[in-house]
Structure 1
Amino acid sequence: MDWRSAIKGFQAYLRLEKSMSANSVEAYSRDIEKLYQFCELGDNKLKPDAITLTNLRDFITWIVEIGMIPSSQARILSGTKAFFKYLLIENIISSDPSELLEAPRIRRKLPDTLSYHEINKLIAAIDLSKPEGVRDKAIFETLYGSGLRVSEAIELKLSNLYLDIEFIKVTGKGNKERLVPIGAEAIKALKIWIEQVRVHVPIKKGEEDFVFLNRRGSRLSRQLIFMNIKALAEAVGIQKKISPHTFRHSFATHLVEGGADLRAVQEMLGHESITTTEIYTHLDREYLKSTISRFHPRS
């Protein structure tokens, strides 16, 4: 089978059998075009039904050598496996050469975090003479005090606050609910916002139960919180690339640095897998290394 027929058939398979969007079909097609380019390089030009596992391993080496980043390598590998699955289903090949092809390891990037001093510096710079400032302080204290995702903070409801027992109910990914403890500073900031400022906001119908509202009485957008944090960081001279998620990373990092049990941190963050939470043990090691470098007399 020639390459053009194989790629055309693969596109139809993705569109009709896998119900993929036009953008996904195009992305997969580009990946197979790269495999086609590779197979055309040598003297013995390879047809789709003649490719072996060795050829595919050479192909992965080639895309590394031409400068593809690990995430792109992983995407191309995924497209390649889907292509050979299609060839197998159509009986164009009798066995799948990509079955034992391993994905390149993607180095997990450690997120930026703020020190406790930097957190305090940011929050202290908020203008509390404005209603929005009181609200923003409550948001930042909640993000840092409970490790919420920004989407979870936006969707936080008054009916899910149990401040008397220092817990809040959070709806996370996949609409999964979890109870998260909340610290005293966050509780204090929330009470001031709710009892002294929010009561004066003209609330839009249907938004009555949401904790954080804009001046028009609607729930906040992610973009507004992001812009407010960025503006605040610039105002106090913090050069790090920060976002609302930085508060979540800082929450988890400071817990791990303080000796918190990783399973407890996983539960609070709402991670499906402990592997996701384990990134904070790497952050902790970096913290330990930097501590040795700064304070050990032999360093």
Structure 2
Amino acid sequence: MSNWKSYIKEYQNYLKLERGLSDNTIQNYTFDIEKLVLFLETNSITQTPINITEETIQQFIYHISSLVNARSQARVISGLKSFFTYILFEDYRKDNPLELIEVPKTGRKLPDTLSTTEIDKLIAAIDLATPEGERNRAILETLYSCGLRVSELTNLKISDLFFEEGFIKVTGKGNKQRFVPIGKSTEKYILIYKEQIRNHLNIQKGFEDTLFLNRRGRQLTRAMIFTIIKDLAVKINLSKTISPHTFRHSFATHLLENGADLRSIQLMLGHESITTTEVYMHLDRKHLAQVLTKFHPRK
């Protein structure tokens, strides 16, 4: 294992420094390699990243295929491919043992989408009599109207708010920054929270510029945002499984359904590749058929 440890450490540094990935993403990449290492140890296989064979990798994949679904299996294979591509580029070995290993076909599973009525109901269920209520309303409005990832929301700074210009500055994956338009009503809810609730908190050192804070004056965790949303879903008896990402997903879906073009949606979501955004195109065939009928010259 010690042999693997040093290579994994180098790989983590590469992901952090050269690819600019977040600690969270690096952890996920490393997790896949550690699964392989555990398999080798359990089966007393002494191969290293330099001499591990395609046969051993195949055995490992066969082993995990009995434990996880096709989607998780595909993720593990993809994570390992990335690691061995790095090993290859560093000239530690001359081939990638995963080159010929096929990733199981998976349909891209999309999360549930909320209707505008359901979003209104969730927001209406917030108890505005509590200080946290005003904060939570501003959080949900921001998640939905700006299409943010949960980490982008928790890291949002007061200095990122450019309300005069009608934008907020968002720091996404790999520290990439983008400007996202913000509507007047969302601005209003953020200002109510900022000026009537946040300024009464005992703000801890280091969090003076963080927009959304917990009652102890520190940055909210991702888990806290999940809890807020789950509790509201229970409150309105919502049968869908939702998370903070559902609001981002609904934001993109509603934009598409109302005629926004994919390139604009891609820019707002901060997707590096248009392919990721294209997933939304598979959502509502009925809607696309209507678009064709309405706009095509030979309808």
Q: Which category describes the TM-score, using the shorter chain as reference length?
A: 0.7 to 0.9
Residue 35 (structure 2) aligned to one of 15, 27, 35: 27
Q: Which moved more, 1:102-111 or 1:26-35?
A: 26-35
TM-score (norm 1): 0.72
Deviation at 1:129, TM superposition (A): 1.5
Q: Please identify, of 126-135 and 22-31, the stretch whose mean Cα deviation from structure 2 is larger.
A: 22-31
1:227 corresponds in structure 2 to 227
Residue aligning to 1:111 = 111
In structure 2, list runs of 5 or more residues that go unmatched: 13-29, 45-51, 290-299
Task: Give the distance between the partners of 1:205 and 1:77, measured in 2 at CA.
Answer: 40
Q: 1:263 to 1:145 in 2, by over 3 A?
A: same
3-state secondary structure, aligned to 1:278: helix
What is the TM-score normalised by the length of structure 2? Answer: 0.72
Q: Which letter does structure 2 place at the counterpart of 1:257? A: E
What SS is found at the alignment partner of 2:180? strand
Aligned to 1:123: 123
- Does 160-169 or 61-70 show the bigger shift? 61-70
Match of 1:252 in 2: 252
Aligned-pair distance for 1:17?
4.4
- What is the alpha-carbon distance in structure 2 between the residues aligned to residue 210 and residue 222 of structure 1? 14
Q: Give the whole-Å Cα distance in 2 for the aligned partners of 1:67 and 1:138.
A: 41
Question: Equivalent pairs: percent with the same residue?
Answer: 50
Moved more, 179-188 or 62-71: 62-71
Which ranges in structure 1 are unaligned for 5 or more consecutive residues? 1-10, 37-47, 290-299
- Aligned residue pairs, count: 260
Distance 1:60 1:210, change over 3 A: closer
Q: Which amino acid in the other structure matches residue 200 of structure 2?
A: H
Deviations 1:65-101 (A, max 9, x none): 968632354335875995xx99xx999xx98886444
Partner of 1:133: 133
Partner of 2:149: 149
| Partner residue, 2:163 | 163
1:281 shift after superposition: 1.1
What residue in structure 2 maps to residue 269 of structure 1?
Answer: 269
Corresponding residue for 2:236? Answer: 236
Contact 1:32 1:79 in 2 (8 A): no
| Distance in 2, Cα, partners of 1:149 & 1:265 | 14
Contact 2:203 2:216 in 1 (8 A): yes
CA RMSD of aligned residues (A): 3.8
Aligned equivalent of 2:216: 216
Larger Rg: 1
